[in-house]
């Protein structure tokens, strides 16, 4: 296949549509990662929560023959497991990173274990007739030549990802709870001193991230694919965490970062047909993340230096003023 063919396919509506599809299971958990990160905890259990959500959705939808029940059960399982994480972290004072690792291990092992019991297969749930969520067709927009192909006919999770990004932005910057979450993350002692219930705020943040991460998992197993594969999240929970930093810890920034990862992933699929090794292309998102960490860190440091400088200037001005008054 020639480069021209690859470029043409990259510029097609179908490619852009696929970027949206691939980005969705990153955007949703990344929003969850953002909320917990702002509340002062690094939720590395996103990966495990996604896996549990994906698994529960498939199993329940296969037995109830209803995608709605499957999705609801998946969400419930995701929230439940994040509640376990919250219980250990907030009430038993387990370190959140180690508890997160434990949750990831139990999710990976537990889903494979149960899959084997239910299907006799340790690889995938392909013998179960699980349901898929429906796609959303937009009556008028789907007739618009290019745009219609990109945004119409996407599954509901793609839509949810964008809607929930907007809602997360509102939650974090326009509501009391959002202010509390950010205050607790900034300085828990200060937050407590003004009467914010730190533990309850962090609990809500963790449960919200469980909700968002489980949606990401459900997208994988009930929309992106129509089955559960062992360890099917394949590190997306960690990439989502990285998207939070790449996006500068802001909702829309996080969404854009997640789409950048999705784009790199979609590109690596396309380049696979050229002679560029796909393993090397698929490294790009991770390299970008590390560069983003550096950029973010440098910027943070500049902000701190700037603040210190301003403070000093103000202080000097006050001193000069006092001196002038004394004279």
Partner 1 sequence: MRKALSIPSVRETLRIILAVLIALGLGFIITLLVSKDPLGAYQAFLAGPVSRLNRAGEWIKESITLTMLGLAVALVFKANLFSLGQDGQMQLGALVSGCVVLFVPLPGILRIPLALLAAGLVGYLWGLIPGYLKAHLSANEIVSTLMLNAIAGRFYEYVLVAFLKPPTAGYNVSAEFPPEGILPNFVPPFLTNLYQLFTQKANITIMVYIAIALVFVVYFIMFRTPFGYELRMVGANIKFARYGGVNTKRTIVQAMAVSGILAGLAGAHLTMGIHGRVITQITASLGFEGIVVALLARNNPLVVPFAALAYGYLRAGADIMERSSDVSREMVLVIQAIIILLVTAERILPMVQKTIADRRAAGTTQPAEAETAKGG
Pick the binder of partner 1 from 66, 94, 126, 142 (CB under 8 A). Answer: 94
Pick the binder of partner 1 from 12, 108, 142, 149 (CB under 8 A). Answer: 108
Give yes or no for residue 307 binding partner 1 (CB under 8 A): no
Pick the binder of partner 1 from 5, 8, 65, 109 (CB under 8 A). Answer: 109
Three-class SS of residue 281?
helix
Closer CB to partner 1, 44 or 151, in the complex: 44
Give 43: exposed, middle or buried? Use CB within 10 Å, 0-12, 13-18, 19+.
buried
Give yes or no for residue 188 binding partner 1 (CB under 8 A): yes
Least separation in angstroms between CB 235 and partner 1: 6
- The answer to whether 260 touches 288, Cβ cutoff 8 Å, is yes
Closer CB to partner 1, 27 or 156, in the complex: 27
Give yes or no for residue 134 binding partner 1 (CB under 8 A): no
- Residues in contact with partner 1, shown as a per-residue x/- string from 38 to 77 under the rule CB under 8 A: --xxx-x---------------------------------
Sign of the Cα torsion 131, 132, 133, 134 reads: negative
Provide the angle, in degrees to the nearest 10, between the axes of the packed helices 67-86 and 96-119. Answer: 140
Give yes or no for residue 159 binding partner 1 (CB under 8 A): no
CB neighbours of residue 7 within 10 Å? 11
Using CA atoms, how far residue 3 sits from 12, 18, 269, 277, in Å, is: 14, 19, 14, 14
Give 143: exposed, middle or buried? Use CB within 10 Å, 0-12, 13-18, 19+.
exposed
136: left (phi over 0), alpha (psi -120 to 50) or beta: beta
Pick the binder of partner 1 from 116, 146, 173, 252 (CB under 8 A). Answer: 116
Contacts with partner 1 in 191-250 (CB under 8 A)?
235, 238-239, 241-242, 245
Applying CB under 8 A, the residues found at the interface with partner 1 are 40-42, 44, 88, 91-95, 97-99, 101-106, 108-110, 112-113, 116-117, 122, 187-189, 235, 238-239, 241-242, 245, 277, 279-280, 282-283, 286-287, 289-290, 293-294, 296-298, 300-301
């Amino acid at each position: 296949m020639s480069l021209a063919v690859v470029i043409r396919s990259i510029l097609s509506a179908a490619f852009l549509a696929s970027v949206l599809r691939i980005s969705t299971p990153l955007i949703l958990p990344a929003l969850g990662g953002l909320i917990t990160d702002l509340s002062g905890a690094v939720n590395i259990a996103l990966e495990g929560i996604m896996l549990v959500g994906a698994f529960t959705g498939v199993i329940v939808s296969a037995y109830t023959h209803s995608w709605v029940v499957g999705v609801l059960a998946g969400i419930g399982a995701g929230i439940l497991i994040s509640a376990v994480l919250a219980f250990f972290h907030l009430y038993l004072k387990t370190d959140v990173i180690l508890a997160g690792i434990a949750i990831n291990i139990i999710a990976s092992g537990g889903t494979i274990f149960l899959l084997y019991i239910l299907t006799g297969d340790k690889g995938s749930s392909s013998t179960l007739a699980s349901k898929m969520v429906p796609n959303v067709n937009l009556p008028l927009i789907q007739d618009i030549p290019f745009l219609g192909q990109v945004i119409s006919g996407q599954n509901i999770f793609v839509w949810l990802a964008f809607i929930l990004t907007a809602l997360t932005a509102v939650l974090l910057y326009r509501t009391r709870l959002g202010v509390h979450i950010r205050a607790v993350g900034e300085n828990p002692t200060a937050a407590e001193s003004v009467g914010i219930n730190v533990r309850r705020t962090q609990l809500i943040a963790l449960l919200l991230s469980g909700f968002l991460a489980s949606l990401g998992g459900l997208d994988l197993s009930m929309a992106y694919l129509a089955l559960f594969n062992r360890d099917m999240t394949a590190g997306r929970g960690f990439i989502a965490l990285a998207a939070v930093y790449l996006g500068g810890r802001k909702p829309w920034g996080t969404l854009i970062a997640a789409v950048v990862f999705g784009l790199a992933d979609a590109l690596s699929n396309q380049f696979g047909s050229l002679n560029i090794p796909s393993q090397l292309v698929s490294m790009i998102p991770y390299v970008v993340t590390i560069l983003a960490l550096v950029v973010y860190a440098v910027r943070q440091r500049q902000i701190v230096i700037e603040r210190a400088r301003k403070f000093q200037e103000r202080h000097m001005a006050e001193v000069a003023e006092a001196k002038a008054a004394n004279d």
